[in-house]
Amino acid sequence: MKKIKISIIGLGFVGLSLAVVNANLGNKTTGIEIDKEKLDGIANGKPDFYEPDVEKLLRNSLKKKTISFTNKFESILDTDITFVTVGTPSDKNGKIDLKNFKKAIFQLSETLKKKKSQHVVVIKSTVIPTTTSEIVLPIFKKNSNVIVNVNPEFLREGRAINDLKYPHLIVIGSKQKNEHKILKEYYKQFYQKLPEIIETDFTTAEMIKYSNNIFLATKISFINSIANICQKLPSVDVNQIAHAIGRDPRIGAQFLQAGPGFGGSCLPKDLSAMINFSKKFGSPNQLLEAVEKINKSQPKQILQILEDLKLKNNKMAISILGLSFKKDTDDIRESVSIKLVNKLLKKNFKINVHDPMAIENFEKIYKNKINYYKKISDCIKDTDCCIILTDWKEYTELKPEIFSKNMRTKNIIDARRVLDPRKFNKLNYRAIGLG
């Protein structure tokens, strides 16, 4: 079979990762982005976000001329499959905002009216169940040459390229049984070893995506609830509990890392969208609401520890290590660091911050209200409490001496459990989930 040509609409971390991996396989790839500034940056080899290896692969494919970028939808006419990876953020009520998504689908439908041969439109954006059958399909009503598939993705920020190359599963939702064939063929060309493929209808595929993320969120809120009990029990450490229960194959070891709560652009948004969606069917979904409530109150654990330290707010300085919502990304969306800094500013603490990647994004919000540092030792210098908020590798390697030499008062709150408590027993080391 001839090589399948793809186009991708929306160049966030999902769309751009797919584009550069596909192009690096030597396949002609077209990326479409309507944000001019973003588009120009990418076309010049400079994405507007950090994702490991993406920039390298992008520059490589630009050099090999296997990739091109445009804001013109017409360029999809020369391709066989269009992946829609437009962002679907939350609106202010926690519902999913489909404005940009719908705009892209409308434009796609208009453009595809100019094409005679078959074209596959793949919905990769996370959309609330029934969106494809009730909103997308009606828009394509007059496009008899268009096949629609729902193909949710499970990429993690910071691991996108790896997750794309080695997925645990591919889900393809379609209207008719044989309508997944072209996309399946594409994946056969993409993967040397084809992962398991589950074929479903549209709504099941959409529901799989939400259920997956919500289950992960549930695991985190569960272990955080356990952590909060452990913290009250002398000598009990939630990490030992997580390790032990994680060995039970029915539970599994991943996503049992206690901490300040989950953030990012996906888990909080998908959880609140599903809470809203489930209200349509009558009574509220109690489990999902509890998962969200626990997550929202988890940062209070840090404030409680801080209060126990009895620091005099307006004379004391706090250093924060880690601003991004997790390691290996510069993304600060829904990051606990924002909630915490807001609270600490209200209490009049002087605040110093460090992050290997996210300083620039943080500066856009807080400007000169807080102090930014490139070196960890400078950030913690003369501060009275250091709070570790993100699990960056450089923080896991910190030795007690850096704190004892630089800090004014040697209080450490390890909200991510990146340090070994046994090595820090000469300092006032406190941690989430450690009694």
Mark whether 230 is an active-site residue.
Answer: no
Closest CB 99 distance from ligand UGA, rounded Å: 19
Nearer of residues 256 and 398 to ligand UGA, judged by Cβ = 256
3 state SS for the chain: CCCCCEEEECCCHHHHHHHHHHHHCCCCEEEECCCHHHHHHHHCCCCCCCCCCHHHHHHHHHHHCCEEEECCHHHHHHCCEEEECCCCCECCCCCECCHHHHHHHHHHHHHHCCCCCCEEEEECCCCCCCHHHHHHHHHCCCCCCEEEEECCCCCCCCCHHHHHHCCCCEEEEECCHHHHHHHHHHHHHHCCCCCCEEEECHHHHHHHHHHHHHHHHHHHHHHHHHHHHHCCCCCCEHHHHHHHHHCCCCCCCCCCCCCCCCCCCCHHHHHHHHHHHHHCCCCCCHHHHHHHHHHHHCHHHHHHHHHHCCCCHHHCEEEEECCCCCCCCCCCCCCHHHHHHHHHHHCCCEEEEECCCCHHHHHHHHHHHCEEECCHHHHHCCCCEEEECCCCHHHHCCCHHHHHHHCCCCEEEECCCCCCHHHHCCCEEEECCEC
What does the alpha-carbon distance between residue 258 and residue 295 come to, in Å, rounded to a whole number? 11
- Please say which residue, 326 or 354, places its beta carbon nearer to ligand UGA: 326
By beta-carbon proximity to ligand UGA, the closer residue of 154 and 366 is: 154
Judge residue 151's burial from the number of C-beta atoms within 10 Å of its C-beta, 0-12 exposed, 13-18 middle, 19 or more buried. Answer: buried
To ligand UGA, the closest distance from the beta carbon of 262 in angstroms equals 3
Under a CB-based contact definition with an 8 Å cutoff, are residues 435 and 234 in contact?
Answer: yes
Q: In angstroms, what is the minimal distance from the CB of 60 to ligand UGA?
A: 24
Which of 16/311 has CB closer to ligand UGA? 16
CB of 293 to ligand UGA, least distance (A): 16
> Whole-number minimum distance, CB 154 to ligand UGA, in Å?
4
**In the block, which residue shows the tokens 């010049």?**
44
Query: Which of 159, 181 has the CB closer to ligand UGA?
Result: 159
Among residues 230, 266, 379, 386, the one annotated as catalytic is: 266
Would you say 76 or 322 has its CB closer to ligand UGA? 322
The number of beta carbons lying within 10 Å of the beta carbon of residue 44 is 12
Query: Toward ligand UGA, which CB reaches closer, 257 or 411?
Result: 257
Smallest gap from residue 38 Cβ to ligand UGA (A): 18
Q: Where does this chain bind ligand UGA (CB under 6 A)? A: 126, 153-157, 213, 216, 220, 255-257, 259, 262-264, 266-267, 325-326
Closest approach of ligand UGA to the CB of residue 267, in Å: 5
Question: Residues with catalytic annotation?
Answer: 266
